[in-house]
Amino acid sequence: MTATIIDGKAFAQTVRDGVARDVATLATTHGIKPGLAVVIVGHDPASQVYVRNKVRQTAEAGMNGFHFELPEDTPEAELIAKVNALNADPAVNGILVQLPLPKHIDESAVVGAIAPEKDVDGLHVVNAGLLASSGGGMVPCTPLGCILMLKDTLGNLTGKKALVIGRSILVGKPVAQLLLAENCTVTIAHSRTQDLASEVAAADIVVAAVGIPEMVKGGWIKPGATVIDVGINRVPAPERGEGKTRLVGDVEFATAEARADAITPVPGGVGPMTIACLLKNTVTATCKQNNIDL
């Protein structure tokens, strides 16, 4: 058996097309143009690439994009003042502060300053609390992307045994909450889990969000399982030339592909979905703020 490769790039385009349609509807029927503000502090090259992509895709979806680049030594109070100004700006429906922030800034204080209804990254404790209780808040982008891909691949997830490897606030915990909301039977594994191999072998769905290259062995995968690989790891690739590198996931792709029914590649799987879901969340936030049911 060779698995179906879940094409995150194509699926992200489908999500972005839906967002562009919603943005057009908001403009024609309500005279509203969603606005997304992205704030970056410092000059981390990876973050800058990511932010540039966000700004470009925001414009392509027909939304207003507001981009703020603050110097590395920006005091925490100044950043929070910026967030407060964006909270009060009616043209801004979504706010994203690019993480990680420089070490002198307390990330939780900054994320906590974002108005929960504009927190399109879904990281505010109010939104995390809503996800863990009644639902209805903003959902973190990468976890939302994972669930959309799983539902697109499998349809109804009810009753599936799902294993989430990783318990971070950014990925693992929200993915587990979302799977639970889809009526999966959810197990969360982490660095202290005993016998990860047998946990993987029992799972119909595996979501790996660890950050260790190919640590989930293909031979562990239950035949017919669906595998979502969130990990993005850069490893040496001497076969491509001296000093060259390549990206791999947390799952040993070549061997997992031979056992799974469907699997996301790295790159080109979960990664492209993250920005698409950020745009989707911005439309969701705009609709909620204006009591619009699209």
List the catalytic residues: 54, 98, 121
Distances (CA, A) of 70 to 1, 19, 230: 51, 29, 29
| Pairing outcome for strands 233-236 and 245-248 | antiparallel
Residues 52-111 interacting with ligand NDP (rule: CB under 6 A): none
Q: Is 122 in the site for ligand NDP (CB under 6 A)?
A: no
Among 233, 258, 268, 288, binds ligand NDP (CB under 6 A): 233
Give the C-alpha separation, 104 to 214, whole Å: 33
Looking at residue 96, the DSSP 8-state letter turns out to be E
Q: Please compute Rg for the chain using Cα positions.
A: 19
Which amino acid, 150?
Answer: L
Stretch of 72-80, 88-96, 122-130, 161-169 contacting ligand NDP, by CB under 6 A: 161-169
Distances (CA, A) of 174 to 132, 192, 219: 8, 19, 27
In the complex with ligand NDP, the residue whose CB is nearer, 80 or 166, is 166
Q: Is 186 in the site for ligand NDP (CB under 6 A)?
A: no
Q: Is 179 in the site for ligand NDP (CB under 6 A)?
A: no
Kindly report the backbone phi and psi dihedral angles of residue 99, in degrees, each rounded to the nearest multiple of 5, phi listed first.
-105, 150
Which residues, in sequence order, are bridge partners of residue 87? none
Among 270, 278, 279, 285, binds ligand NDP (CB under 6 A): 270
Among 165, 206, 225, 279, binds ligand NDP (CB under 6 A): 165
List the one residue out of 254, 259, 215 whose CA is nearest residue 233: 215
State the minimum distance, in angstroms, from the CB of residue 200 to ligand NDP: 10
The two structure tokens encoding residue 3: 């698995």
State the minimum distance, in angstroms, from the CB of residue 59 to ligand NDP: 20
What 3-state DSSP class applies to 104?
coil
User: Are residues 203 and 176 in contact, defined by beta-carbon separation less than 8 angstroms?
Assistant: no
Among 25, 48, 87, 168, binds ligand NDP (CB under 6 A): 168
User: Are residues 93 and 37 in contact, defined by beta-carbon separation less than 8 angstroms?
Assistant: no
State the minimum distance, in angstroms, from the CB of residue 234 to ligand NDP: 10
Among 171, 175, 176, 248, binds ligand NDP (CB under 6 A): 171
Among 14, 84, 193, 245, binds ligand NDP (CB under 6 A): 193
Bond into 267 cis (ω within 30): yes
Give the C-alpha separation, 137 to 140, whole Å: 10
Q: Is 231 in the site for ligand NDP (CB under 6 A)?
A: yes
In the complex with ligand NDP, the residue whose CB is nearer, 187 or 233, is 233
In the complex with ligand NDP, the residue whose CB is nearer, 121 or 261, is 121
Q: Is 189 in the site for ligand NDP (CB under 6 A)?
A: yes
Among 42, 62, 102, 211, binds ligand NDP (CB under 6 A): 211
Residue ranges that bind ligand NDP, judged by CB under 6 A: 142, 165-168, 170-172, 189-193, 196, 209-212, 230-233, 270-271, 274
